[in-house]
Amino acid sequence: MNNRRGVALIAAMWLILGISVVALQFALSGKERRVLALAAADRGQGRGIALAAIATIQAQLDASARSPAASNQALAGTTSGDPWLGVDSIYSGFAMVGADSVLLRARDLGTQVNINTVGEAQLRLLLATLLRDAALAERITQRILDWRDVDDIIRLNGAERDAYIKAGLLILPGNRPFGDVTELELVDGMTPEILAALLPYIRVYGQNTVNLNSAPEVVLRSLPGINEQILSNILANRTRGRRIASVESVVPGAVAGGGRGGGNASAGTVLAQQLGAVAVVDTREVEVTVVAQAGPSALPLKGTALIQRQGQGASLGWVRW
């Protein structure tokens, strides 16, 4: 009789233990789901705050692009001639969106070269300026081009699939545009030092244009048709606080519109046409990065948007998270 009571007691204890374990599992599962739900809510709220900040900047850029000064020829040589000039400082820093603070960073994309669309000669010049080694610049140029082109035909000094396999590299050439600038580290021959030197001057999206009024000297030196006299004129105008109103204005001997349509053109006009193929004198694309946080316990959310000038206005290209 006592044995039966002992067995029953042990069975009851095991039953209680089993029920407790199941209850604990349900409680933990419920807590985990609650945490996930709260995190999702925070992300949604953070995204809403970031989108509101982006929309505010777009509206401000749109209003400035429509201002009378933007189309006033008398102001073409002043900063008012390009109301978007200086967006890096105007729209960067902390700002309030309602009761929430966000961190903003705006960037004129005309200060960098698009690594996916830059021509061979311009890329070679950019690398040669940075690396001060013509042979190394040529090798890296050809390998970047081999990575982004669609074929497996190896260029002189380049590297395609077989070369990567032979070198024991795990990731082969993408034969497509770069998705991010850091993807360049996968290119054969690229070193951390070369990549670090290159990163401040490149991007992977946007138009293939460089802004003469804002691009750094390293980028200016890579432009087709550039020479020391033209570069000196560009930098002198900027040092004096004058905005460059046209490409022809910094090219000695160039005539605006000269030689177009098949007529004879002066040497200066030819240089201006070469330079004008990739150079502009106004800010046409702005990258806006927003870091928003829904609350003290929420994780920060980072979003990046592309705002483009469309005539006398601003349009939102895309937003990425």
Return d(Cα 94, Cα 86) in angstroms, integer.
Answer: 17
- The per-residue pLDDT for 136 is 98
Question: Is residue 118 a contact partner of residue 208, using CB atoms and an 8 Å limit?
Answer: yes
Looking at residue 265, its pLDDT comes to: 75
Q: What strands lie across the sheet with 93-97, from one edge to the other?
A: 93-97, 100-108, 285-292, 301-309, 314-320
Report the 10 Å Cβ neighbour count for 250. 24
What span, in angstroms and rounded, lies between the C-alpha atoms of 193 and 191?
A: 5
Question: Cα(7)–Cα(181) distance, rounded to whole angstroms?
Answer: 70
pLDDT tens for each residue of 68-119: 766 666 556 676 789 999 999 999 999 999 889 999 999 999 999 999 999 9
Q: What is the pLDDT of residue 125?
A: 97
What's the confidence (pLDDT) of residue 31?
Answer: 61
Asked whether residue 10 carries a pLDDT value surpassing 80, the answer given is no
What is the Cα–Cα distance from 224 to 119, expressed in whole angstroms? 9
Higher pLDDT, 275 or 259: 275
23 burial type by CB count under 10 A (0-12 exposed, 13-18 middle, 19+ buried): exposed
Nearest to 303 by CA among 285, 316, 284: 316
H/E segment holding residue 95: strand 93-97
Could you tell me if 152 and 160 are in contact, meaning their C-beta atoms sit under 8 angstroms apart? yes
Domains, the chain, with CATH or none: 1-115+204-223+278-321 (no CATH), 118-200 (1.10.40.60)
Average pLDDT taken over every residue of the chain:
89
202-203/113-114 β-pairing: parallel
Residue 100's closest CA among 70, 56, 160, 139? Answer: 56
pLDDT per position as a tens digit, 209-260: 999 999 999 999 999 999 999 999 999 999 999 999 999 999 999 887 665 5
**Which pLDDT band, with edges at 50, 70 and 90, does 172 fall under?**
very high
Of 297, 246, 296, nearest in space to 273 by CA: 246
Compute φ and ψ for 302, nearest 5 degrees.
-110, 130
> Which two three-digit tokens encode residue 90?
């105007």
Instruction: Count CB atoms within 10 A of the CB of residue 313.
Output: 13
Structural contact between residues 186 and 171, judged by C-beta atoms closer than 8 angstroms: yes
Q: What is the pLDDT of residue 255?
A: 85
Say how many CA atoms lie within 13 Å of 141 toward its Cβ: 22
Percent of all residues in the chain with a pLDDT value above 90, rounded to a whole number: 74
Transcribe 256-320 into DSSP letters.
TTTTTTS----HHHHHHHHHHTTEESS--EEEEEEEE-SSTTSPPEEEEEEEEE-SSSEEEEEEE
